[in-house]
Amino acid sequence: MNAVLTGVHHLKLWVSDLQRSRAWYERVLGLEHHISFQDDDGVIRGVSLLVPGAGFQIALRENPALAAALRDADPFALQVTRDGLDAWVARLDELGVPHGPLIRASAGHALGFTDPDGVQIRLYAPDEEVHAAQVDAEGVYRSGPSDPPGPSDPPPAPDHRA
């Protein structure tokens, strides 16, 4: 028997308002409700949302204190195609969701925006040519001026919450 990882089951995010965040993730990202989680007191404080076509779920768990700790975090990136990034820009604009510009990233192109609690969401389109131009033979990334902001960089000027 081999001890191997076979994929991603779910990502969990803590949110300050479950209903608001669930509605936002369904509306903006097109996620689909899978299951709700009821606490011992009978109150639903968690949901699991399917990411259509991706084979994993994003779970939201209501916990305002932990949600505050995630503010401005960049916990994951969702993979799309390069053409898909252009479609996402149009979709976010149509929904009135503020977002950053399309950027050249370490191994492709990326687009960033934030959820209602200020968690940064990245849509990432891998590109082997970009990767080859920015990562050396030892796998060390050489940063450039168009890289996504890091934790020590100043926050983006606009408020990206929708």
Domain boundaries, the chain: 1-68, 71-162
Which residues on adjacent β-strands are paired with residue 113?
Answer: 121
Q: What pLDDT shows up at residue 131?
A: 62
Which of 26-30, 104-108, 134-138 is the most confident on average? Answer: 26-30
Which CATH code for domain 71-162?
3.10.180
The percent of residues above 90 in pLDDT, for the chain, comes to: 64
Over 90: is that where the pLDDT of 63 sits? Answer: yes
Measured in degrees and rounded to the nearest 5, phi and psi for residue 61 equal: -130, 125
Q: What pLDDT shows up at residue 132?
A: 66
Measured from the Cβ of residue 74, the count of other Cβ atoms closer than 10 Å reads 16
Which CATH code for domain 1-68?
3.10.180.10
Of 41-50, 64-73, 105-114, 138-147, least confident by mean pLDDT is 138-147
Over 50: is that where the pLDDT of 162 sits? Answer: no
154 vs 72, more confident = 72
One-letter amino acid at 59 equals A
Do 1-68 and 71-162 fold alike per CATH?
yes
Q: What pLDDT shows up at residue 140?
A: 76
Average pLDDT over residues 84-112: 93
User: pTM for the complete prediction?
Assistant: 0.80
Give the H/E segment covering residue 86: helix 82-95
- pLDDT level of residue 127 (50, 70, 90 thresholds): confident
Contact 78, 95 (CB under 8 A): no
How far from 19 is each of 14, 22, 28, 44, CA to CA, in Å?
12, 5, 14, 10
What length does the chain have?
Answer: 162
Sheet of 44-51, strand order: 10-15, 56-62, 44-51, 32-38
